[in-house]
Chains A and B, each alone.
Chain A
Amino acid sequence: MKVDLDRIVESFPGLVATMSLPGELDYLNQAVLDFFGKTAAELRSWAESDVIHPDDLPRVVSEFREAIAAGSPYTSAAHRCRRADGVYRWFQTRALPMRDADARIIGWSILLTEIDDLKRTEDALRASERSLRLIIDSIPTLAWSSRPDGSVEFFNQHYLDYVGLPAEQVLGFGWRTAFHPDDLERIADGWERIRASAQAGEHEGRLRRHDGEYRWFLFRLNPFRDESGNLVKWYGTSTDIDARRRAEDELRRSEAFLAEGQRLSSIGTFYWRRDTDEITFSEELYRILDWNRDLRVTRERAFQRILPRVHPEDLRLLSDGMARSLGTGGDQDLEIRLLDPDGSLKYLHILSRESRDLDGGIEQIGAVQDVTARRTSEEALGRARSELAHVVSAMSLGVLTASIAHEINQPLAGIVTNASTCLRMLAADPPDLAGARETARRTIRDGNRASDVIARLRALFSRKEPTSDPVDMNDATREVIALSSRELQRNRVILQSDLASDLPIVSGDRVQLQQVILNLVRNASEAMAAVEDRPRQLLIRTEREDVDRVRVSVRDAGVGVARESMSKLFDAFYTTKSGGMGIGLSVSRSIVERHGGRLWAETNEGPGATFAFSIPAMRTL
């Protein structure tokens, strides 16, 4: 079918024109004439008329002239054309050079496309973008977006203000410049990890503020996908978490500090919430109890694993302590021994307090100190001390014995020698009677001399009269208790005292009387050394006796005294103790008797014995 080109152009649904080489419009299709409502002649002088909006005209003219001069295709920017009704509509003009067979330009074909609706949508979009941009720039957070490769394409104004750097310096991969050099590698790794996952993620690092201060930030990233599901962008926010981070650091430091302190002082702590049986051990407590860290602490486990290791002698102490604690909710302070798997003993000092937490639940907080080293050295010291005391007393006794022996042996030597001589003189032939008489006389003299020595010794030991000062026996007893409490505790003796408040003052030698009490307390403690099946209880009591006497008694729960041994107890060298000298009781009795009192022993109703003495009160003037 032969097509009529003129008819096609004429009916083309667009505004079409041609232009001759000198720049004159020659052909204009009907659509052009209709749109503008002008004649072809009027339109040919478009450059001098108002068919193009005066604001756009100079630009369109100059651009068009340039294109014609260059002979290159021309696409105009959007410009407004005046419709027949006087309303300007947005157009885009395109012009292509027309060439002859020799490719010389012989004219231009021109197409005017109305883009008014598109242009308005674009403007609206741009306005909306501006408004969004304003929002993004104003929200009080640091926001940004990056391309899939990790280069940043946008920072909000707040971000730029915060880092105090121009956009061009931080865009792309320039964002690194605002981070702490020490964190760069980690931040890059974090960013890389999140990008690889293609999922939302977060990481932390220090960002430099405009004033040079580095602060900790949390970076949150969200991937943005297009409709086909391709990841096209990352949107991110950076949140200042410096305060939180510093608090965390502070907490970590303080925890490390505490742990170090616990390690150095061998103190472990525990927390036990009674209603939930939630138990927490500190690091050091795991070590003290040889508890495998991976094994969660429960009440059952704690009982199963720790109780069998408690020294049998301390089980009662521990259970009493726990019972007391459960009953009263008060503070606990006890010392127990644990048997280590290797057979050695571990001494633990346990302090605990029960209280209510914020929810009203009962919680017990405690500290456990490993005092093994201290106790071991104390025990060694105690042993050394008692050995030393024994050596000293044995030595002084030895010295005493030697001096007595020397004093006695001298005259004895004379006696034996004289007697020998005497016998020889009598046996001689003839007997030397005069000599024998002389040696016999000397024997008698030396015998008397020996007896004098004994008398002198007695005088020496009884010469010192006790001092006579007013003595408060309660005070004196308290001092003895204070003096011996460590030793008693070491021997696991539970000491109780019952001191009468109406005790009269006595007259005597305070130190000597205290020696008597101390001696009775030590005897009682030693009498209970082998007792394992009952508490080693020791009761010291002071009381008024018959109005004007003071009685001090020491009751033990020890092995007791057989009735037939009672009378021998106070003999100087009688002892029921395997290692003792047994001289204490006879000395004690002589001291008490010098104070005008008496010392006696009686067997208890239950186990053990009671030793008591009573002395007269000071006569009031």
Chain B
Amino acid sequence: MIGMRPLVSVVDDDESVRESLPDLLRQFGFAVQAFASAEAFLASEALGDTRCLILDVAMPGMSGPELQLELTRRWQTIPIVFITAQGDETIRRRLLAHGAVECLFKPFSETELLDALGVALR
């Protein structure tokens, strides 16, 4: 347990995101855990404590949308903010339609990220 700060989990196969994003989120005042794959996240204890999931769309192995589906199947209603390097509006619309809080196109700004987290943790 990391005090009373809400836990935000970051799942992304890209190392530079796993390095940079948790630092920024900590600056925002969140507790952060980063995972290199969807499988690693599902296997971790963070699963139950995570208040918001920042999830990459395209990953080797289980993809972001597949993880979203798996969580729904497990009745885990964690608000998800997708992030993707593929600036595709149709994918974004589909993800939002399936219950994602937001889908941010990389590179996204600090403000966009804060707005999305604000909605997720409301």
Residues of A in contact with B (beta carbons under 8 Å apart): 402, 405-407, 409-418, 420-421, 424-425, 428, 435, 439, 442, 445-446, 449
Contact = CB atoms under 8 A, between A and B. Distances in A.
B87 to A, nearest CB: 6
Contacts of A406: 58, 85-86
Interface in B71-96: 83, 85-88
B108 A416 contact: yes
A410 B85 CA distance: 6
B88 A402 contact: yes
18 contacts: A405-B87, A406-B58, A406-B85, A409-B85, A410-B106, A412-B106, A413-B16, A413-B17, A413-B20, A413-B107, A413-B108, A414-B19, A416-B108, A416-B110, A417-B17, A418-B24, A420-B24, A442-B19
B44 interface: no
A108 B14 CA distance: 163
B20 A409 contact: no
Q: Is the interface of A mostly helix, strand, loop or mixed?
A: helix
B110 A409 contact: no
Given A416-B109, A418-B20, 18 more contacts: A405-B87, A406-B86, A410-B16, A410-B85, A413-B85, A414-B16, A414-B19, A417-B21, A417-B107, A420-B24, A420-B109, A420-B110, A421-B27, A425-B27, A428-B27, A442-B20, A446-B20, A449-B16
Nearest to A439: B23
A416 B107 contact: yes
A406 B17 CA distance: 13
- 7 smallest CB-CB distances across A and B, nearest first, come from A414-B16, A413-B106, A409-B85, A417-B20, A416-B107, A412-B107, A420-B110
B86 to A, nearest CB: 5
Interface size class, chain B:
20 to 34
Contacts of B23: 417-418, 421, 435, 439
B35 interface: no
Given A402-B86, A420-B24, A424-B24, A409 B105 contact: yes
A332 B5 CA distance: 90
A408 to B, nearest CB: 8
Contact of B17 (A410, A420, A421, A424): A410
A445 B19 CA distance: 12
Contacts of A442: 16, 19-20
Contacts of B17: 410, 413-414, 417
A405 B24 contact: no
B51 to A, nearest CB: 20
A446 B85 contact: no
B83 A413 contact: yes
A409 B87 contact: yes
Contacts of A445: 16
B16 A411 contact: yes
B27 A405 contact: no
A378 B108 CA distance: 50
B67 to A, nearest CB: 19
Contacts of A415: 107
Given A412-B106, A424-B27, A405 B86 contact: yes
A449 B15 CA distance: 12
A417 B85 contact: no
B85 A405 contact: yes
